[in-house]
Copies of this chain bind each other. A is one copy, B any other.
Amino acid sequence: MALIVQKYGGTSVGSTARIRDVARRVARFRREGHQVVVVVSAMAGETNRLLALARELSPSPDPRELDVVAATGEQVTIGLLSIALKELGVEARSYTGAQVRILTDNAHTKARILEIDEERVRRDLEAGTVVVVAGFQGVDRHGNVTTLGRGGSDTSGVALAAALKADECQIYTDVDGVYTTDPRIVPEARRLDRITFEEMLELASQGSKVLQIRSVEFAGKYLVRVRVLSSFEDPEANPTGTLITYEEDENMEQAIISGIAFNRDEAKISVMGVEDRPGIAYAILGPIAAANIDVDMIVQNIGASGHTDFSFTVNRNEYRKALEVLERERAAGRFQARELIGDNRIAKVSVVGIGMRSHVGLASKMFKTLADEGINIQMISTSEIKIAVVIDEKYLELAVRVLHKAFELEKGGNGG
């Protein structure tokens, strides 16, 4: 008998028929004797509908009130799922974030969980009751409703699993696990049986949209065993999905590269021929940060004759704003530069793998593979377990395919 936290996303509870499917799956785990906590998202489309109503009333709705509105989506689902469970003869009880209570800070629309009072949940579990908790939401010290931001239900699930010291946190979604890359681009992409938190973090932040990045950080911090599964698969088939672990076992040593991540949500800004002096990076990026624009990659080339080229990437939605900020700063004389160049037709491709740490030659293999296809690399950035490059957007699919093949990911990954 285990204590399992299961999280179901919006498409998994997108209709009453789907909710009934979830209830059956939960009932099956109960019948096997497990204690089950279910964390659910709003029904697919519901959060967007609610936010659209708010935006009809204000271009920038008050964040406290936006949370009050948005949190209703998950509240509907917990009630409906509990009704479906009771209809199957399974004792169930729903809780909002405030009822649990999931205490957060007061950063409305992007609150962070501070503490979970798991006593009430534990009492229900011991009585054999399935506990159904609203994801995505919490409550601050003053009783105000807060939400955790998009994808926050994953974080709710992992945080509850951590607080309850659950044996496993199962994240049910519309894919059956984490793949070496997007199967829509590379049909040979392979589902990974296991992956480490760090790799998952890189894959998630690089654009593999399986799990919210904060939930992965959370899981890594509290050593929660997370498994990604599909809610569309037949539960009788005993699907195993992908287990995200914090142990690097032998299997992992073998799998040098775990996957190819990519994203086309970014844009590149280059400040060319800028004076090469201490403080110049701050002069450029300080105003960007002050404008609340997040920066991802940052690259600075070694300068010649006292000048250097400085490039960074931002989210494409903030590209114009970032350029405007820099034009303004440059006009105000805060830095001198020969030229400001923006490019929002770029893509980022990353090779991710725990093996990167110890195996040389992986970077050069990546660069050679791209060069062989005539794909020019515009920026390079590396971390302990990933190499990311920026290329022209039009080569994205080609790059992903040739890298997937070069690292033999369809076979289980070696090629290093």
| A93: B residues at CB distance < 8 A | 64
| A56: B residues at CB distance < 8 A | 16
A204-224: contact bitstring with B at CB < 8 Å (1 yes, 0 no)? 000000000000000000000
Does A72 sit within 8 A of B, measured CB to CB?
yes
- Which of A79-87, A173-181, A358-366 is near enough to bind chain B? A79-87
Does A69 sit within 8 A of B, measured CB to CB?
yes
Nearest Cβ in chain B — how far from A121, in angstroms? Answer: 13
Does A129 sit within 8 A of B, measured CB to CB?
no
Nearest Cβ in chain B — how far from A213, in angstroms? Answer: 27
Closest to A60 in B: B87
CB pair B62 A68 closer than 8 Å: no
Closest to A87 in B: B58
Query: Given A16-B57, A19-B57, A78–B68 Cβ distance below 8 Å?
Result: yes
CB pair B79 A68 closer than 8 Å: yes
| A69: B residues at CB distance < 8 A | 75-76, 79-80, 83
Nearest Cβ in chain B — how far from A57, in angstroms? Answer: 5
Does A53 sit within 8 A of B, measured CB to CB?
yes
A45-68: contact bitstring with B at CB < 8 Å (1 yes, 0 no)? 000001001101110011011111
| A76: B residues at CB distance < 8 A | 50, 53, 69, 72
CB pair A58 B86 closer than 8 Å: yes
Residues from 1 to 47 in A contacting B, C-beta threshold 8 Å: 16, 19-20
| A66: B residues at CB distance < 8 A | 79, 83
CB pair A94 B79 closer than 8 Å: no
| A143: B residues at CB distance < 8 A | 99
CB pair B72 A57 closer than 8 Å: no
| A94: B residues at CB distance < 8 A | 64-65, 68
| A78: B residues at CB distance < 8 A | 65, 68
- Within the oligomer, what is the number of copies of this chain? 2
Determine which of B54, B68, B75, B84 lies in contact with A58 in the assembled complex, contact meaning CB atoms within 8 Å. Answer: B84
Does A71 sit within 8 A of B, measured CB to CB?
yes
Query: Given A62-B86, A86-B62, A99-B143, A54–B79 Cβ distance below 8 Å?
Result: yes
The majority secondary structure among interface residues of chain A is helix
Determine which of B65, B71, B83 lies in contact with A86 in the assembled complex, contact meaning CB atoms within 8 Å. Answer: B65
Does A192 sit within 8 A of B, measured CB to CB?
no
CA distance A371 to B67 in the complex (A): 62
Does A379 sit within 8 A of B, measured CB to CB?
no
CB pair A65 B53 closer than 8 Å: no
| A75: B residues at CB distance < 8 A | 68-69, 71-72, 75
CA distance A77 to B410 in the complex (A): 51
| A20: B residues at CB distance < 8 A | 57
Does A98 sit within 8 A of B, measured CB to CB?
yes
Nearest Cβ in chain B — how far from A26, in angstroms? Answer: 13
| A64: B residues at CB distance < 8 A | 82, 93-94
CA distance A57 to B82 in the complex (A): 10
Nearest Cβ in chain B — how far from A85, in angstroms? Answer: 9
Nearest Cβ in chain B — how far from A93, in angstroms? Answer: 8
| A79: B residues at CB distance < 8 A | 54, 65-69
Closest to A75 in B: B72
Residues from 74 to 112 in A contacting B, C-beta threshold 8 Å: 75-76, 78-80, 82-84, 86-87, 92-94, 96, 98-99
Nearest Cβ in chain B — how far from A206, in angstroms? Answer: 34
CA distance A382 to B10 in the complex (A): 56
Partner-B contacts on A (CB < 8 A): 16, 19-20, 50, 53-54, 56-58, 61-62, 64-69, 71-72, 75-76, 78-80, 82-84, 86-87, 92-94, 96, 98-99, 143, 145
The 6 A-B residue pairs with the shortest CB-CB distance in the complex, in nearest-first order:
A69-B79, A68-B79, A72-B72, A16-B56, A65-B82, A58-B87
